[in-house]
Amino acid sequence: MKKIAAAAMVITLLGALMAGCSSGDKNSGNAAEGASPEGTAGAAESTTYPLKTDEKLSYWGEINGNLVGVKASHDEIPFFQKWQEKTGVKLDFTAPPSGQVKEAFNVMLASGDLPDMLEYNFIGDFPGGPEKAISDGYIIKLNDLIDKYAPNLKKYLQENPDIDKMVKTDNGSYYVFPFIRGDEYLRVFQGPVIRKDWLDELGLPVPETIDEWTTTLRAFKEKKGAAAPFSVVSKPRFFNESGNGAFIGAFGVNRGFYQEDGAVKFGPAEAGFKDYLKLFHDWYAEGLIDKNIATADTKAVDGNIASGATGATVGNAGGGIGKWQPLVEANDPKAVLVAAPYPVLKKGDKPKFGQMNQAYASEGTVAVTTAAKDPALAVRMLDYGYSEEGHMFFNFGEEGVSYTMEDGYPKFTDLLMNNPDKLAPAQAISLYARSSYNGPFVQDKRYAEQFFALQTQRDAVEIWKNTDAAKYNLPNITPTPEESSEYATIMNDINTLVDEMTIKIILGSEPVDKFDDYVAKMKSLGLDRAIEIETAALQRYNSR
Amino acid sequence: MGNRQTLRRRLVRDFLLNKYLYLMMVPVIAYYLVFFYGPMYGALIAFKDYSPMKGILGSDWVGLKHFQDFFGSFYFLRVLKNTILISLYTLLFEFPAPILLALLINEVRRKKFKRVVQTITYMPYFISLVVICGIITDFTNADGLINRMFMFLGYDGQAMLQKPELFRPIYVLSEIWQRIGWESIIYIAALMSIDLEQYEAARIDGASRLKQMIYITLPGLLPTIMIMFILRMGNLLNVGFEKIILLYNPVTYETADVISSFVYRKGLLEFGWSYSSAVGLFNSVINLVLLITANTLSRRATQNSLW
């Protein structure tokens, strides 16, 4: 008996020790939050940069994919060096390995060892969304701090109530310093891309309907000898870009939830999805789609396009056309890639879906954690991005180095557009500014006008813009913290099922008729409950 | 009482006599305490709704909820079946491979040739798994190396990683390729310890090389094989998830998705720490049972065992 008692004692002590450690961390965080630090009183209205402080804040965030292989850490990137200089706050960066952001974030949270600031997508990649991140005690609600220490962001949100609505949670909590696409023009950047030179050679128009696409792809295969006439990236999910409605949209559905006539619907459970599967199944059987479609990653698709095995794909204006145009030209000087409109079934129809991001993009946003030693300082530092000076700096970098003012227009220098180290503009811009990806600031249209160096890229945005996506897409809604784990469990199983069904039917290992069984299975996995949760979330959003 | 007194006295005396030896044990004990027994405390979260901010003890108890969720999951049976099948196939085909290789290498007379063979066969073991999987993906593509060979023979090329029925063979074959050389080292070492006089005697009695292998080499290897087998049983359900994750895609989920890859998707990508650790605990219990069973059977049948 005595032994058991002793063992129990030891375990309890050990436990208490550990619990002590973790709660200790938390308390220190809260204490710092409560006591407003010295030197901030009276600074509520306007902040002058650089701030005068000796404190060093820690910052966790991914290095932009454009810079993988160019620079290894934040400290080597001029933008991040300058950012510290301009704000006067020293930052200690930690970067998760590229491509494993979610895993690294998860491990960091589980360890309980949080930095002062976190750059992460709290709507898309945090199960349960921002409100749960706050209620679980990872990040702090920023309302009071923004009122006191972030005049620039506050002003922007006051002037743009529609964006203000997106940036808040259902409960009205502010939780991050948001990334905002400052112009309609910046919200569309992806769509179908096709080889114009081949079309001209074959005497075909740019395809608009699904039937025209079939004809075109057939011609590519038969007359141009394309081994994979249509090829798209399928990692991590089959035909990633279909998530935005590419090709699926022609059948009146998309791959996720959308709203129609006031109701929330799940695309893969709707009849239109079956027609989409049938089309792709037929295309695959006929050899119009890449044979390795299930395993095709970015590298494989780039290779196919460059070698002329592929004549059509779906991609971005900047990272797609901008990247592929030089590649195809290298093989065939006449090659031209242009945008094709999102396909429809009947000529003249307007596509129901297409890529159209929200003005408030949920990625690239920065939260302040509960562990922050001096949350007010972090907030003042982050507010810089929304000031006039910060706006120029985030979008264009430093005057005289990365841009020059010409008649009031910030023009990128050759350092960026014709980089002496042979870096692509997307890479070079990422070194000096954050406009080509994201971050805590408002994106400026003037960056894109220059970044899209080719006329075909600028036209692309206009062509892809023509969809009804804005009407049907759901805004950034989230389930409540209580519902979130239930929702995550349901959707994890359903998404696995959808991925499996999609690819199996397309590859022909299951007949198209099996679709109805799959829908029944989705129902048995709780699809109706998921739709119910989404509907409630949408209602809460609408009544914000 | 008297007995214990003497025991204690004996311990104290022994300790005083060998105090430096005991001191040397401290790091080892500390190592096990810190890295093996300490983390066991974390297994508690399998029975709780763990939230890092509340700490392990501060989180709420939920009893067996996570276990029930796992057993009741839509994919439970499939995942379990795949795990067991992939493990069994690996055991069946990959486990004997290094033994065979060791026996073959043992028969080689030329020392130089022997070394070259050994070096070449254990090379793949040192290549990073990510690279290995890249190579596998490239080779099995619709126009990859393997398919080109088939096409040369008049078959149609097909993307092999898109065929659910081919996933397990690809996994097991590549596993053999990767590990055969490395794992044969221990068997080769065991072969070295077989008394050469036995071979001489056998030769004098007129035994052929094959007979020598069957009656001398194999029995000499048996203890090592048994120990390796028992150790392997203890890991039966731990199919390496990195390789699965790098190779699978939704078409092959039905044959490729194993417990660990399922847990990875669920736990690490969706923050289901408690759920994953419940599944991990379940996995460990099964492994423990298998290990004990294998050990007992082996002790009864061959007198070789771990304990």
**Which chain A residue lies closest to B58 (C-alpha atoms)?**
A19
Which pLDDT score, from 0 to 100, does residue A46 have?
67
What are the beta bridge partners of residue A410? A405
**Does the distance separating the beta carbons of B57 and A16 come in below 8 Å?**
yes
Tell me which residues of chain A, numbers 135 to 154, contact chain B at a CB-CB cutoff of 8 Å: 136-138
| Average pLDDT score over residue span A8-35 | 40
Put simply, the chain A residues between 231 and 250 with a CB less than 8 A from any chain B CB are 234, 237-238
Does B137 touch chain A if contact means CB atoms closer than 8 Å? yes
Instruction: For an interface test with B, give the residue of A33, A292, A310 to mutate (most B CBs within 10 A).
Output: A292
Closest-CA distance of chain B to residue A171, Å: 22
Confidence of residue A10 (pLDDT cuts 50, 70, 90): very low
CA distance B93 to chain A (A): 27
Top mean-pLDDT range of A293-297, A517-521, B82-86? A517-521
The pLDDT of B221-234, averaged and rounded, is 88
Across the interface, which of A109, A295, A493 has its CB nearest the CB of B249? A295
Candidates A324, A326, A323, A298; CA nearest to A311 is: A324
* Count of Cβ atoms closer than 10 Å to residue A173 Cβ: 17
Of A102, A292, A492, the CB nearest to B266: A492
Q: How far is B275 from chain A (nearest CA, A)?
A: 11
71-110 in A: which are within 8 Å (CB) of B? 102-103, 106-107, 109-110
DSSP A283-318: HHHHT-B-TTTTT--HHHHHHHHHHTS-SEEEEEII
Tell me whether residues A15 and B56 touch, CB distance under 8 A: yes
How far, in Å, CA of A445 to CA of A182, rounded?
Answer: 7
Phi/psi at A529 (5° precision) = -65, -40
CA distance to A22, A132, A246, B39, B51, per residue, from B60 (Å)? 16, 16, 44, 19, 9
* Burial grade of A338 (CB within 10 A; 0-12, 13-18, 19 or more): buried
- Give the helix, strand, coil percentages of chain A, each rounded to 5: 50, 15, 35
A 10 A CB-CB count for A278 gives 16
- Size of chain A, expressed as the number of residues it contains: 544
The answer for residues whose C-beta is within 8 angstroms of residue B31's C-beta and 6 or more apart is none
Neighbours of B119 (CB within 10 A): 10
A76-92 burial, b at 16+ Cβ within 10 Å, e below that, comes to ebebbebbbebbbbebe
B27, with CB counted inside 10 A (0-12, 13-18, 19+), is exposed
pLDDT band at B37 (very low <50, low <70, confident <90, very high): confident
Q: How many CB atoms lie within 10 A of CB A16?
A: 11
Give the pLDDT score at B2: 52
Taking the C-alpha atoms of residue A158 and residue A3, their distance in angstroms, rounded to an integer, is: 66
Tell if the CB–CB gap between A22 and B53 is shorter than 8 Å. Answer: yes
The strand order across the sheet containing A56-60 reads A90-94, A56-60, A117-120, A360-368, A177-181, A442-443
Least confident of A35-44, A250-259, A292-301, A344-353: A35-44
Rounded to an integer, what distance in angstroms lies between the CA atom of residue A238 and that of residue A231? 11
Going by pLDDT thresholds of 50, 70 and 90, the confidence category of residue A346 is: very high
> Rounded CA gap, B241 and A103, in Å?
14
HSE-CB for A67 with a 13 A CA cutoff: 24
Which residue in the set A292, A493, A503 is minimally distant from B75, CB to CB? A493
More confident residue, B99 or B69: B99
Question: Where does the pLDDT of residue A30 fall: very low under 50, low under 70, confident under 90, or very high at 90 and above?
Answer: very low
- The whole-number pLDDT of residue B3 equals 59
List, as ranges, residues 284-323 from A with C-beta within 8 Å of B. 291-295
The predicted pLDDT at position A32 comes to 39
Read off the pLDDT of residues B184-214 as tens digits, 9 standing for 90 and up.
999 999 988 888 888 889 989 888 888 888 8
pLDDT tens digit sequence for A108-143: 988 888 999 999 999 988 888 899 899 889 999 999
Record the tokens describing residue A415, joined without a space.
Answer: 């350092």
**Cross-chain Cβ contact A295/B159 below 8 Å:** yes
The mean pLDDT of B72-87, rounded to a whole number, is: 90
Residue A139 forms beta bridges with which residues?
A369
Q: Is A480 helix (H, G, I), strand (E, B) or coil?
A: coil
Cβ–Cβ under 8 Å, residues A365 and A177: yes
Residue A84 pLDDT exceeds 60: yes
Residue pLDDT, tens place only, A450-490: 988 889 999 999 999 999 999 999 998 888 888 888 888 89
Q: Do B142 and A291 touch (CB under 8 A)?
A: yes
- pLDDT, tens digit (0-9, with 9 covering 90-100), for B167-185: 999 999 999 999 999 999 9
pLDDT at res. B4 = 61
DSSP state of B156: P
Judged by CB atoms closer than 8 Å, whether chains meet at B41 and A14 is answered as yes
Q: Check CB contact of A507 with chain B, cutoff 8 Å.
A: yes
The Cβ-side half-sphere exposure at B285, using a 13 Å CA radius, reads 8
Query: Looking at this predicted complex, what is its ipTM?
Result: 0.76
A-chain CB neighbours of B253 within 8 Å are 496, 499-500
CB A57 within 8 A of CB A116: yes
pLDDT at A19 over 80: no
Structure letter (DSSP) for residue A466: -
Eight-state DSSP code of residue A207: P
- Mean pLDDT of the B218-229 span: 89
State yes or no: pLDDT of B57 exceeds 50: yes
* Closest chain B residue to A292, measured at CA: B159
Share of chain B above pLDDT 70, in %: 98
Confidence class for position A93, pLDDT limits 50, 70, 90: very high
Is A23's pLDDT higher than 60? no
Angle at A363 between CA A358 and CA A366, to 5 degrees: 120
pTM: 0.81
Highest average pLDDT, of A318-322, A351-355, B192-196, comes from A351-355
| In A35-98, alpha helices (H) | 78-87
Q: Do A22 and B270 touch (CB under 8 A)?
A: no
pLDDT at A188 over 90: yes
B residues 68-127 lying closer than 8 A (beta carbon) to A: 69, 73-75
- Give the residue on B whose Cα is nearest the Cα of A496: B250
Task: Please report the number of interchain residue pairs, chain A to chain B, with beta-carbon separation below 8 angstroms.
Answer: 110
How distant is the Cα of A429 from the closest Cα of chain B, in angstroms?
30
β-partners of residue A438 are none
Cβ of B41 within 8 Å of Cβ of A504? The answer is: no
Residue A440: which of A190, A223, A37, A119 has the closest Cα? A119
CA angle A64, A241, B254 (to 5 degrees): 105
Share of chain A above pLDDT 70, in %: 92
**CB A335 within 8 Å of CB A328:** yes
Round the average pLDDT of chain A to a whole number and report it.
88
B283 — pLDDT class (breaks 50, 70, 90): confident
Query: Per the structure block, which two tokens stand in for A445?
Result: 């249209």
Mean pLDDT of B253-262: 88
Instruction: Answer for the pair A318, A189: CB distance below 8 angstroms, yes or no.
Output: yes
pLDDT at position B11, please?
85
Higher pLDDT, A243 or A274: A274
Instruction: Decide if A362 contacts A121 (C-beta within 8 A).
Output: yes
Of the candidates B51, B250, B271, which has its C-beta nearest A499's C-beta? Answer: B250
Facing residue for B159 by CB, picked from A23, A126, A294: A294
pLDDT at A160 over 60: yes
Give the C-alpha separation, B294 to B289, whole Å.
9
Indicate if the alpha-carbon torsion angle B220, B224, B230, B235 is positive or negative. negative
Q: Quick check: B211 and B218 in contact, CB under 8 A?
A: no
Q: For B250, name the nearest residue in chain A, comparing CA atoms only.
A: A500
* Residue A442 near residue A182 (C-beta atoms within 8 A): yes
A113 in contact with chain B, both atoms CB, cutoff 8 A? no
Distance CA A374, CA A370 (A): 10
* pLDDT over 90 at A16, yes or no: no
pLDDT at residue number A40: 42
Average pLDDT over residues A398-426: 91
Give the residues across from A313 on adjacent strands. Answer: A193
- pLDDT tens digits, A491-514: 988 998 999 999 999 999 899 999
Contact B307, B92 (CB under 8 A): no
Beta-carbon contacts of residue B21 (< 8 Å; ≥ 6 apart): none
User: Is A109's CB within 8 Å of B52's CB?
Assistant: yes
Interface check A514 vs B, CB under 8 A: no
AA letter at B288: L
What pLDDT was estimated at residue A97? 87
CB contact under 8 Å between B58 and A19, yes or no, is yes
* pLDDT given for residue A143 in this prediction: 96
Q: Is B142 in CB contact (< 8 Å) with chain A?
A: yes
A462 inside 8 A of chain B by CB? no
A17 φ/ψ sector (left φ>0, alpha ψ -120 to 50, else beta): alpha
Q: Which of B45, B245, B249, B264 to mutate to test the interface with A (most CBs of A within 10 A)?
A: B249
Angle subtended at Cα B260 by Cα B256 and Cα B264, rounded to the nearest 5 degrees: 105
